[in-house]
Amino acid sequence: MNSRCCFPRALALVFLLLPVRPAPAETFLIAVTETDDGEPSSPPLAAREGILAALFDGEHIGFELPADEPPQSADSLRLLAVEAGAGTVAVIVVDWHQERIPGGALRVSGRGSIVLVDAHTGRQTASLPLAVGNEGRERIADRPLLGVEIGSALIEAFRVSSAGP
């Protein structure tokens, strides 16, 4: 067999065996607004805590604005992010709804959006809709778990937006 024909195959095999590198770690400035049926949520704030837990588990870093901080402009958030060493501002809005179902469990859903802003260039994504819920798994999935799911959606949105056009 000709060694010329085998070389490309061997080279391809080498590339297939190389470990896949995960997306690089990112530092986020997190601005979360949480409401319950349109009214400000009371602590503990499940989306905020879940997002930070998901970022930590995903080997990202998150700084958060205090929950009682008044809303700020995108430019103000960008400046804060740069000062904190964050490369991305994540603006997340979640409105929770819950209802007691037969048997005493709570059915919980959250709807909202994620907007990512590059702290250095100001480039931002379109508003990305998010929806989480525990329908069918009410006994095992509570608000904190749904908050982690929101954090996972944030990480995925970052991966997609950082991959480029």
Residue 165: pLDDT band by 50, 70, 90 thresholds? low
- On whether the pTM is more than 0.75, the answer is yes
d(CA 67, CA 23) in angstroms, rounded, equals 29
Residue 60: DSSP 8-state = -
Nearest alpha-carbon partner for 98 in 61, 26, 27, 146: 146
Residue 19: the pLDDT is 45
Is the per-residue pLDDT at 11 higher than 60? no
Collapsed DSSP state (helix, strand, coil) of residue 100 = strand
Instruction: Tell which wins on pLDDT, 111 or 74.
Output: 111
